[in-house]
Amino acid sequence: MTRAAYRYAIYLSPSGPLRAFGSQWLGRDADTGATLPPAGDMPAAPADWVRAPAHYGLHATLKPPFRLADGASGAMVDATARELARRQAPFDAPLALCALRGFVAWGLADGGSAPMQALADACVLAFDPLRAPPTAQELARRAPDQLSDEERRMLDAWGYPNVFGTFVFHITLTGVLDPATQRAALARLEAASGKLLQAPLQVDRISVFVQPAPGEDFVVARHYGFDGSTADGAGAAYLGA
């Protein structure tokens, strides 16, 4: 019997030059779980800048990490991802470097995208029947007393405060930084990756990431192309297929 991962998540995982740069910046390849040394003339990011995002791997959240509900399985996550991806059409999303809630990220250059919002909404809805309710401890980690009324409603209904009307697309590149360090990170990332953002992000797949056990780093289980193709990562065994 295939063992389930501790948590599953549905992410948008960049490909091509953005993936190569972002993975090197974070110092970890989410497909393999391997640590990556600095490459070329790109200086290594200070470990305290990237420790938090490196834990999750380079990604944008579509359906946040969840434990499986009773009766759900990794094979059901796989089947849901295959069907959802099959119904999507590729689109482009221009990106820009931005500061968001104390951290640095690649966000949408125009501030919003109807196709991206629709994709995120579809992921939240499709996978929610497989999600176990959050524990009191998990809810407390979201600091509900610091959320807006709408974010609190999203947390109560969907186990995460930033979905649907509160969703903001972002590919996280640092943890929360003080203002001076955030400015330094923005300057370094602009100098190193600014040219990459001249081409839009090509959105043509979704990815299932898994956290094998509590405290362990997330790794890719499988990428699902909108054309029906798939590519396995280090965590494929947790999908049971």
Work out the angle at residue 52's Cα, subtended by the Cα atoms of residues 180 and 200, and round it to the nearest 5 degrees: 80
Nearest CA among 55, 73, 77 for reference residue 10: 77
Pick the closest to residue 26 from 189, 167, 198, 221 (CA basis).
189
Confidence of residue 38 (pLDDT cuts 50, 70, 90): confident
Residue predicted with more confidence, 181 or 45: 181
Indicate if the pLDDT at residue 39 is higher than 80: no
Instruction: Express each pLDDT in 49-97 by its tens digit.
Output: 999 999 999 999 999 999 999 999 999 999 999 999 999 999 999 999 9
pLDDT at 241: 64
Mean confidence (pLDDT) of the chain: 94
Q: pLDDT at residue 2 above 90?
A: no
C-alpha closest to that of 193 among 11, 9, 26: 26
CA distance 123 to 62: 6
Percent of the chain scoring above 70 in pLDDT: 97
> How far apart, in whole angstroms, are the C-alpha atoms of residue 104 and residue 26?
12
Tens digit of each residue's pLDDT (9 = 90 or more) over 193-214: 889 999 999 999 999 999 999 9
Q: Answer with the residue of higher pLDDT: 43 or 148.
A: 148
Looking at residue 32, its pLDDT comes to 97
Question: What domains can you pick out in the chain, each with its CATH number?
Answer: 7-239 (3.90.1140.10)
- Extract the tokens encoding 66: 């969840």
Q: Is the pLDDT of residue 177 over 70?
A: yes
Instruction: Inform me whether the pLDDT recorded for 1 exceeds 60.
Output: no
Q: Which residues have CB under 8 Å from 65's CB, separation 6+?
A: 7, 8, 9, 209, 211, 218
Q: By CB neighbour count within 10 A (0-12 exposed, 13-18 middle, 19+ buried), where does 101 fall?
A: exposed
The 3-state secondary structure of 79-96 reads HHHHHHHHCCCCEEECEE
| DSSP tag of 182 | H
Given 3-state DSSP classes, what are the helix, strand and coil percentages for the chain, each rounded to the nearest 5?
40, 25, 35
For 130-143, the pLDDT digits (tens) are 999 999 888 888 88
pLDDT value of position 153: 95
Bridge partners for 131 per DSSP? 68
